[in-house]
Chain A
Amino acid sequence: MSRVYLDSSASGYQARVRRLMWIVLATIGVLVLRLGQLQLIEGDELHDSSIRNFARSTKLPANRGTILDRQGRVLAINRPSFDLYVIPGRVRDIEGLLTGLRDVLQIDELDALRLRERIEEPRGMWRQRSILVSRDIDRKKVAQAEALRAQVDGISIQVRYQREYPYGEIGAHLLGYMGKPRREELEGQNRYTADSLIGRSGLERRYEELLRGEDGFERYIVDARGAKADNMPWAERALEKQAVRREPQRGMDIQLTVDAEVQRLLLNSMSRYESGAAVLMDPRNGEILGMVSKPGFDPNAWSGRLTPEAKRQVDESPYNPMFDKSVQSYFPGSVYKVVAALAALEEGILDPNQLIESPGYYEYGNRIFHCYKRAGHGKVDLYGALAASADVYFYRLGEQLGIDKMATYAERFGFGTKPGLGINGESAGIVPTKAYHEKHTAGGFQHGLALSTAIGQGAVMVSPVQLATAFSALANGGTVYEPRVVQRVLTEEGNEVTRYDAQVRGNLNAKPEHIAMINTGLIRVVNDPNQGTGHSAAIPGVVVAGKTGTAQVREIQRGPLTENVKRFKDRDHAWFAGFAPAESPRLVVVVFLEHGGGGGKDAAPVARAILEGYHQRIEPVFSTTATYTPPKRRNYP
């Protein structure tokens, strides 16, 4: 039976309908294939995408450990700070919000306008992202903002830990400061997020692993607006397989050997000088009681609250405030003469009592080596040579010992290797040898360099901490201790986890009588009122031993520098290294004044102030019975 149209023009309709049917089948087939592609092939991946939609994970930041001083005073601690955010998607009344925020935060109209733009700009999912409006608002503002939130919604106040350094600039270099993680640290083991703070320098950086703790997290289910949702049973089942919460683990506390009041004392004693460093060490075990560098910086500001102005001030300072001068090396000058003296005694080439002519200059080869004192010192023995710092006496020693022999003794003192504090790029210094000069000096090694080395000039470089270690060895009879700043690691509850005991690094390997001879000389330096270069370090009633140094590093500066800076650069480095009380030393002090003038004139009085201040204000370490007995007249030519 033919089911065609009644009008005769019906031919072809059947065929065309069949063609349309095939087209329909093919097109629906494409839809089926696409459905299968999305659900069966990409299904697993999109299944995870749907979980990512509702699964939120927030970091529960770990509280960083506290740094305590020797006496248990807090040097660095985490304090909660409050940041104000706005979540655009939740704002119900933007006019009310802006008016309210202008009141609470006291922002001006322009800032309010900018804020409005930032709130209105985001689209889609971005409207659920928090916008930071103000960091670190005080508690009064927090209360006001909470009240405002109740009215207009859309405000979020988030707690963050802010690192705080109650002592501010005092000891800033040692403690260091905190900063944002760098990109490679973010990519690293996935332990830091963009809002983490990471130890950037000093002990904060050295003990980052201990102090940091472990961040925790909390996972929960949110809807598209970012609000916690409880209407998704499927989502809850999907998340059941994963941990929902991990508590953050607080970092460890560390207690230092350093005393905050000693830090203050060191800085106060150096107050007249722009730039330098001071170290106070216990020679019996290598504990550092204090180490400071000048000028300082405010670690509170540098830990995330740095104003451009404060940064500019630091950047433009000619005195390198961020540089920790206590672990950097400099030309030591005459404090280094102890090396040549001990080497000569040990090598048996020096009779300490023999008087040697020590004029104002010394001819060697075709060069003339001058004494700092043009008139010379006449005939001196070892003690007199140390006391008066007679250069020519030591030129002779240097000539006889040779540079490499002196280097082996310098290394026994700990010079030329890093002290092991592991902070602020501590310097190993330089102990020059023939090989060193062949490699680094224009013209290679010449024997004359041994002469300069003997008096701490030439290429010798030492750091204040190294010098403290070296003088500790002289003070304690030859043991070279590793300098230490950390005493122990504690849990939050105060339970000791690790204690760091005295570590012996090496030994001077010298005959006790030789060390005693040098110490006798060092006592003369301070206590000989006529010739001792360090007499201004003398303290009545206490025998102080020490050595001054004046490293000739004057650089005459030209160009656009202020008069102050020119005068600064035009001076020598001033050094004093010593210990007291000489008969049973309790303290080793090193004072380094960068371009500070002269060791005896400038550094020695600072050292005296430090020793006296420590005895009077921190711990009485001097028995007042010991007095200095001048040696027999004979020694004075």
Chain B
Amino acid sequence: MSHFGKAIGRIDWLQILLVLALCAVSIYNLHSSARGTGRSYHIDQLWFMGIGLVLMAAVAAVDYRNLQRLVPLFYVGVVLSLVLVLIVGKVVNGSKRWLDLGFFGFQPSELAKLAVILTLAGWFQKNPRPGGYTLKDLVPVALLVGIPMFLIINEPDLGHTLMLLFISGSMLAYERFDRRALVGLLVMGLIAAPLMWQFGLRDYQRDRILTLVDGRADRLGSGWHAAQSRVAVGSGQLLGKGHGEGTQVAGGFLPESHTDFAFANLAEEQGFVGGLLLLGIYLGIILNALRSAAMARDRFGGHVCVGVAALIFWQVVMNMGMVLNLLPVTGVTLPLLSYGGTSVWTVMVAMGLLLNIHLRRTVF
């Protein structure tokens, strides 16, 4: 078998299939949920995905061990752009999250997720502790994650701040720890949570969380999004109202139906069956990514796969949790299903990394 033939055989075709399926579902769903906005979001998304697939292929092509050298540079670049966004960022809905590049609005916090995944993976690669990590060992990790988190919470963007926290937490869970370090992390978490609640959150963020906990919250005020999302999902019942028939979108009752609440529209129109299918695709991608982690050639590759799996997993959980009224409204997008260039490309690059690591798993 030729060298090229061997490479073809090593490609993670399942992952590619799942990604393409997700793209198809996304375009189909956007075709309906963008109704009434007067814009063809599904066409735009198609372009984003096209570019994204090229990006994915490009990232997959170059051996990741060569890319690894660029990670510190990438990290610094992302941190600088996060600082920049706080200074000259475009204010949308009271938050500074976007850098206006003229032709394109760019969201550095999306890239921060990739930067944290790659940087932590690199750190774990260079600092092995076969006996388990202690709290002291983790100080550099805390700094590497803490800096972008601090910058993002000041935008403010609670969703992405939490994403960084959860992704890095998941990557830590992939390592072994000294028993005292585990207890220490637990205690720190217990102390940090109320402090975070008191000082880290804005009033409206606290409101959103309280809305979820307190069922009596004003359904016409801050709880409006959540309530309408619940109605959209529930009214889909088993088989859904049919493609393009969702009244929650057509009537404008469901806000942000092409971005944050894209899943609500899908559940309304395609019902429980459609929702299960989508969850199945995500589950496949996540489990497949974890499988790639177990097969990775080195600790860097393994950690990147776990990080990417965590990225998809936590975005799915936080977005669907929000749509299904289990979690507060945080504005975390659903990977590939939500409209948006930066968000699509971040996921595509992450997928490219998975393919890359899978392709170069053990010696061949």
Give residues in A with beta carbon < 8 Å to B: 3, 5-14, 16-17, 19-21, 24-25, 27-28, 30-32, 34-36, 38-40, 42-47, 49-50, 53-54, 123-126, 221-225, 229, 231-235, 238
Contacts and interface: CB of A to CB of B under 8 A. Distances in A.
B279 A32 contact: yes
A126 B287 CA distance: 45
A39 B271 contact: yes
B176 A12 contact: yes
Interface string B127-155: 01110000000000000000000000000
A49 B251 contact: no
Interface stretch (B186-194, B291-299, B336-344): B291-299
Interface stretch (B46-54, B204-212, B227-235): B227-235
A231 B249 CA distance: 10
Given A16-B174, A20-B173, A24-B313, A31 B321 contact: yes
Given A7-B299, A32-B276, A53-B253, A16 B238 contact: no
B265 to A, nearest CB: 12
A13 to B, nearest CB: 6
10 contacts: A5-B299, A38-B325, A40-B237, A46-B234, A47-B237, A124-B224, A223-B252, A224-B252, A232-B247, A234-B246
Interface in B2-27: none
B326 interface: yes
B235 A35 contact: no
A13 B291 CA distance: 11
B362 A123 contact: no
Contacts of B325: 38
A409 to B, nearest CB: 69
Contact of B294 (A3, A6, A24, A54): A3
Contact of B220 (A5, A24, A126): A126
Contacts of B290: 17, 20-21, 24
Contacts of A10: 299
Contacts of B296: 5
Contact of B251 (A11, A32, A229): A229
B233 A232 contact: no
Contacts of B174: 13, 16-17, 20
A138 B128 CA distance: 86
B234 A231 contact: no
B250 A229 contact: yes
B352 interface: no
Contacts of B42: none
B231 A27 contact: no
Interface of B: 35-36, 128-130, 170, 173-176, 220-221, 224, 228, 230-238, 241-242, 245-248, 250-253, 267-268, 271-272, 275-276, 279, 282-283, 286-287, 290-291, 293-299, 302, 306, 309, 313, 316-317, 320-321, 324-326, 361-363
B176 A47 contact: no
B234 A49 contact: yes
> 10 smallest A-B Cβ distances: which pairs?
A46-B234, A50-B235, A224-B252, A43-B237, A124-B220, A234-B245, A9-B130, A223-B251, A38-B234, A125-B220
A217 B283 CA distance: 50
A575 to B, nearest CB: 63
Contact of A235 (B251, B275, B287, B302): B251
A124 B221 CA distance: 6
B222 to A, nearest CB: 9
Given A43-B237, A124-B224, A34 B324 contact: yes
Nearest to A129: B220
Contacts of B251: 53-54, 221-224, 229, 232, 235
A131 B228 CA distance: 24
Contacts of A126: 220
Name which of B236, B251, B324 has the most chain A CB atoms within 10 A of its CB: B251
Nearest to B303: A13
A52 B231 CA distance: 10
Contact of B276 (A3, A34, A35): A35
B248 to A, nearest CB: 6
A17 B298 CA distance: 14
A50 B295 CA distance: 48
Given A20-B306, A232-B251, A7 B128 contact: yes
Nearest to B237: A43
Contacts of B287: 21, 24-25
Contact of A5 (B246, B282, B291, B302): B302
A223 B253 CA distance: 7
B36 A38 contact: no
Contacts of B271: 39
A218 B228 CA distance: 25
A5 to B, nearest CB: 6
Contacts of B130: 8-9, 11
Contacts of B221: 123-124
B239 to A, nearest CB: 10
Contacts of A45: 234
Contact of B235 (A30, A46, A232): A46
B220 A13 contact: no
A14 B279 contact: no
B238 A40 contact: yes
Contacts of B175: 16
Given A25-B287, A50-B247, 17 more contacts: A5-B298, A7-B128, A9-B129, A16-B173, A21-B290, A27-B317, A46-B233, A49-B231, A53-B247, A54-B247, A124-B224, A221-B251, A225-B252, A232-B250, A234-B241, A234-B245, A234-B246
Contacts of A234: 241-242, 245-247
Contacts of B228: 53
Contact of A38 (B35, B224, B233, B291): B233
Contacts of A14: 294
Contacts of B317: 27, 31
Contacts of B241: 234
B248 A24 contact: no
A24 B282 CA distance: 10
A6 B362 CA distance: 8
B173 A28 contact: no
Contact of B230 (A28, A38, A233): A38
Contacts of B36: 231
Name which of B35, B36, B224, B252 has the most chain A CB atoms within 10 A of its CB: B252
Given A31-B321, A35-B279, A49-B234, A13 B272 contact: no
Contacts of A34: 324, 326
A231 B267 contact: no
Contact of B234 (A12, A47, A53, A229): A47
A9 B124 CA distance: 12
Contacts of A47: 234-235, 237
A35 B302 contact: no
Given A20-B173, A20-B306, A124-B221, A28 B234 contact: no
A158 to B, nearest CB: 22
A428 to B, nearest CB: 52
Contacts of B246: 234
Contacts of B299: 5, 7, 9-10
Contacts of A238: 247
Nearest to B246: A234
A39 B286 contact: no
Contacts of A13: 174, 293-294, 302
Nearest to B361: A3
Contacts of B294: 3, 13-14, 17
A236 to B, nearest CB: 10
A38 B272 CA distance: 9
Contacts of B129: 9
Contacts of B326: 30-31, 34
B235 A49 contact: yes
A50 B231 CA distance: 6
A231 B238 contact: no
Contacts of A32: 276, 279
Nearest to A28: B283
Name which of B296, B321, B363 has the most chain A CB atoms within 10 A of its CB: B296
